Each structure stands twice: as structure tokens, then as C-alpha cells.
Chain A
Amino acid sequence: MLRASVMIEGNEVNMHAINDGEGARGISGGDLLIKFAEAVVGEDDAVLARRRSDVVEELGPRAMVDAAGVASNFERMVRIADATGIPLGAGLETYSAEVRTALDLERFNMGKS
């Protein structure tokens, strides 16, 4: 969905920022949002507080709260997918094939089945 939303905006973004954790400058506040997401997944409360402040300062408190909602939502979705052994399904497999290859996402699926 990242690629689709970027295309609709006529924007360009470095998709490798998803793996690398930096270089998302094509998206407003992109690098700060990546750092905030990393802090939400991480365990250091002091780092999280700094990343939260950075997002509040750049994008405002309401955007930070929405970002917290999205990050915490995907803490949930990844666990459902990983714990139930679901396949992608034909539609999603086709839809995401290009991005999955570019980002080597299959490395996360090795040895699971």
C-alpha cells in the first residue's frame, strides 16, 4: 500500500528506507516517522520520548497520536500473520511481487513452513 499511495500522489520515495531505516525524504516527516516507529518497537523509553517530541515538533501532536495508532496497529498485525502461518494469497502475492523482490521480503519467510 505504500507504493500505491506514493504513486497516487505522483511522488517518489526510496522504498529501501523500509529496510534501511533512513532515506524516506520523499514523504513529509518521513525520516522522523521511521525513527518514531523504530522507537515504538524498541524498548528504550527515553529514546521513544525524544522521537515522540521530534514528531510533535515537525508534524504536530495530532499527527503523532495517529502515528502511534498506526505503529501499534502493526505490532498487532505482524503477530497475527506470523503466529497463524497464513500465506499471502494470490491477489496480494501478485500485487506486491515487485516490492517484495526489491526489498527481499522472502528472507523473513524462510524456514517457516
Chain B
Amino acid sequence: MVPCPTNVGRVPYQRIRTEAKTISIDYSAAAWPIRDDFAAAHARFWQRLAKAGSWWTAAERIAIAREVRDSPSCSLCVERKRALSPNSVSGEHRRATNLPRAAIEVIHRVTTDPGRLTRAWFDGVIGSELSVEQYVEIIGTLVAIKSIDSFCRAVGLPLNRLPDAEDGVPSGYRPNAAKLEDAWVPMIPADANTGAESDLWTIGRTGNVIRAMSLVPDEVRTLGDLGAAHYLPNAMVMDPTAHSPHLDRQQMELIAARVSALNQCFY
């Protein structure tokens, strides 16, 4: 177990093995049998987290993950969460990293109080410190960490130690087809995922929640990979008879709906 000094988690970290830059995550010590596909999908994301992305370096991506873990103990976030309106509370976030101020605001708000984000808030954080491409990669990284950490906590496992950053520079890749429609962020139209993006979804058949991350195509790939283990492969989601190995679909959707309601999500 290797506790990280910036961690504020209540449990020590799960041990991970790093060999020749391949990362494996092992849940075999859990008190219950954990399906192998959970550990495999989590390890694939950890592997990706250790490398430069499209708009952030590996060190910055890992810093995003640290902020996700640290934000629940930020006193500004705690106060804002309690307030009738988050805008009524001002102050400085308790930061765990040297990420730009706008990035810290995004990570803390989306992690701790996602149900009250507004267009005005989004417009306020995008600017000279943070591009919309960087924003989308932050969201993709944040939600992957949130779901993996949430899973570990839910089954009583310690959190996985964050990987060490590998060298490399962000690719700066932006898909040509991405354009602004009626979401806050540009997205690839449902029928325009051709060429390098042809694997993201079956052309013409996807939901906005999948397209939402498509300004950074690797975030869509991670979304599908983690979703296949945690929930269902994207192609099976709209089939109401599809279900996980040990729950029926009604049980799954009841959990999904309750989590969404608690997070005040309209979607």
C-alpha cells in the first residue's frame, strides 16, 4: 500500500503492478469475487492516464485525477454545496496541484456539485486559461476517475494508486467533423464519425451523452470501454432485455435512475 501525500481518501491505496510500462490492477484480494473485466477495464484506463492525452500531458492528467480525489474535502466546495446557490459563496479552492485556476474550478465543481452547473458558469471558465478541448479532456478524465474510485469504494476496496507519468507531449488532435450544435461543447454529428472516428459508434446510431465527449475521441473510447464493464456495451444499451451477469435490467435501471436523481441530473 502506497498512500499518496495529496490523498484525502479514507482508505489506503490498492496496490498496482507496473511492469515495462504495462499496468495491471488486481482485485483478487477483495472480500467478494470481482469480475475480471472490471480490473481489465480499469487497468486500460490507468495505462492511458499515465500517457499524454490530446490536450494535457501525463503529469497534468494525473494532477486532474488528484484534484478529483481531493475536491470533496475542499472547504469552498463544501460551503457551495450547502448553499442555496453556489454563486453566493466566493473564495479559493483548496488545491492539491498546480493546474490552472480555471481547471481547478472545473474539476472541483463537476466532481462535487454537478447538478447545478449552468451555461453561464461554463462560459466563465472557458477562456485564455482553458480551451474547450482541454475542458472536454478534463471531463473525460474526471468521470473515469470518479467511476473507478466510486466502484472501489462501493465494493469495499482501497483506491488504486495513481500511475507514474510517462514522457510525451499532447497530440493536439481535434476531429475535423466536430462542430457546435446545441450543447455547450462542439461534438461530432451522429452521422459524421467517419475516418479515424469510425470506431466511436455505429454511424447514425448514438446518444448525445456519448457524442458529448467526441471533441476528444479517446474520451469516447474510454467511455465505451468502462461502460461495457460497469453497465453494458454501448450497442446494447437500448435493448431493454440486455443486462449484466448478476442483475436483471429492472434492477440495473432502478440503481441508474436513483443515482441520477440524487445527482439532480435531468438527462
Decide if A and B are genuine partners: yes
| Cα–Cα distance between A82 and B13 once the two chains are bound (Å) | 29
Q: List, in ascending order, chain A residues with CB within 8 A of B226's CB.
A: 73, 76
Given the interface pairs A78-B259, A82-B265, A92-B207, the reply to whether A70 lies near B231 with Cβ below 8 Å is: yes
Residues of A near B211 (CB, < 8 A) are: 86
B259:A109 contact, CB within 8 angstroms:
no
B256 A74 Cβ-Cβ under 8 A:
yes
Whether B147 pairs with A72 at a CB distance below 8 angstroms is: yes
A-side contacts of B240, CB under 8 Å: 1, 4-5, 7-8
Question: Chain B's nearest CB lies how many Å from the CB of A107?
Answer: 8
B255's contact among A28, A33, A49, A84, by CB below 8 Å, is which? A33
Min CB gap B225→A, angstroms: 12
B216 shortest CB reach to chain A, Å: 12
A8 to B263, CA, bound (A): 27
The answer to whether B212 and A84 have CB atoms under 8 Å apart is yes
Specify which of B115, B229, B241, B267 is in contact with A8 (CB 8 Å cutoff). B241
* Surface stretch bound by A, among B117-125, B162-170, B191-199: B117-125
Chain B residues bordering chain A, tally (CB within 8 A): 77
Residues of B within 8 A of A7 (CB): 240
Query: Is B183 interfacial (CB 8 A cutoff)?
Result: yes
Q: Pick the contact of A78: B34, B247, B263 (CB < 8 A).
A: B263
Decide if B264 is an interface residue (CB 8 Å cutoff): yes
Q: Give A41 to B262 CA distance when docked, in angstroms.
A: 7
CB-based closest 10 A-B pairs = A85-B184, A68-B154, A2-B253, A81-B267, A73-B230, A61-B32, A5-B249, A78-B265, A72-B150, A109-B266
| Residues of A in contact with B (beta carbons under 8 Å apart) | 1-2, 4-9, 11, 13, 17-19, 21, 24, 27-30, 33-34, 36-38, 40-41, 43, 45, 48-49, 52, 56, 59-89, 92, 103, 105-109, 111-113
The 18 listed contacts between A and B (C-beta, < 8 Å) are A2-B254, A8-B241, A13-B254, A33-B258, A40-B259, A62-B245, A66-B35, A70-B259, A71-B259, A72-B148, A72-B154, A75-B150, A81-B208, A81-B267, A82-B110, A84-B139, A85-B183, A105-B266
